[in-house]
A and B are shown apart, each in its own frame.
Chain A
């Protein structure tokens, strides 16, 4: 069974530029999560999708971050414009149901904003 795929693995941009990350979840998983993991901290949920609907985006900085999951499969997360404090690893995860079921994580995209 293929795991969660993410690209790119690394990205370096200058502040005020835009960037996009892509995630392809495990086939058949209805729930998809985007997390932000700042160095030395645990993952913080940015947005959670159930199929192509948003379940929770309470911690997504909506003035600069956006995410979509068209067709309920893969997803993109965009930052525009980026700030220095956005430097982090962005993790995508998926699960077959939310909460009780295990979340399967991708390798992450490491973003450095200069």
Chain B
């Protein structure tokens, strides 16, 4: 069975600082991996996805993530945080085991301090 673990329910950074949100997954078959962002009172929006092509994936708003199979990780980074990045971020894994199934992590809330 697949699973997703996001380390840290809350992360706080200063504006301009590096953003690092951690995601580890468990899967018995090659996974597809996603990062979604959720702003208050809105649905989830895709930031980026890994689908077995390049291991370094670039997304919207300056975010990127690197798929590391040996570490079963898919951490999300952004070199310089902006106030508008404050939101909740969800990592998700999707696998095809007799039909695709997607599991979401519990989420990490990012706070950006001025």
A residues contacting the other copy or chain, number (CB 8 A): 23
What's the interface size class on B, roughly? 20 to 34
Interface of B is mostly: strand
Residue-wise, chain B 84-107 has the 8 Å CB interface mask toward A (1 for contact) of 000000101011100111101111
The residue from A45, A91, A104, A110 contacting B102, defined by CB atoms under 8 A apart: A45
A55 touches B99 (CB 8 A): yes
Task: List B residues 45-80 near A (Cβ within 8 Å).
Answer: 45-46, 49, 51
If A91-B43, A105-B44, A107-B42 touch, whether A100 touches B32 (CB-CB below 8 Å) is: yes
A102 touches B107 (CB 8 A): no
A72 within 8 A of B: no
B107 touches A41 (CB 8 A): yes
B45 touches A99 (CB 8 A): no
- Give the Cβ gap from A55 to chain B, nearest Cβ, in Å: 6
B28 within 8 A of A: no
If A55-B99, A56-B99, A100-B94 touch, whether A107 touches B104 (CB-CB below 8 Å) is: no
Q: Which residues of B contact A (CB under 8 A)?
A: 4, 9, 32, 34, 36, 41-46, 49, 51, 90, 92, 94-96, 99-102, 104-107
Q: Which residues of A contact B (CB under 8 A)?
A: 4, 35, 40-45, 55-56, 91, 93, 98-100, 102-108, 110
The 5 closest A-B pairs by CB, nearest first: A99-B100, A105-B43, A42-B104, A98-B100, A105-B44
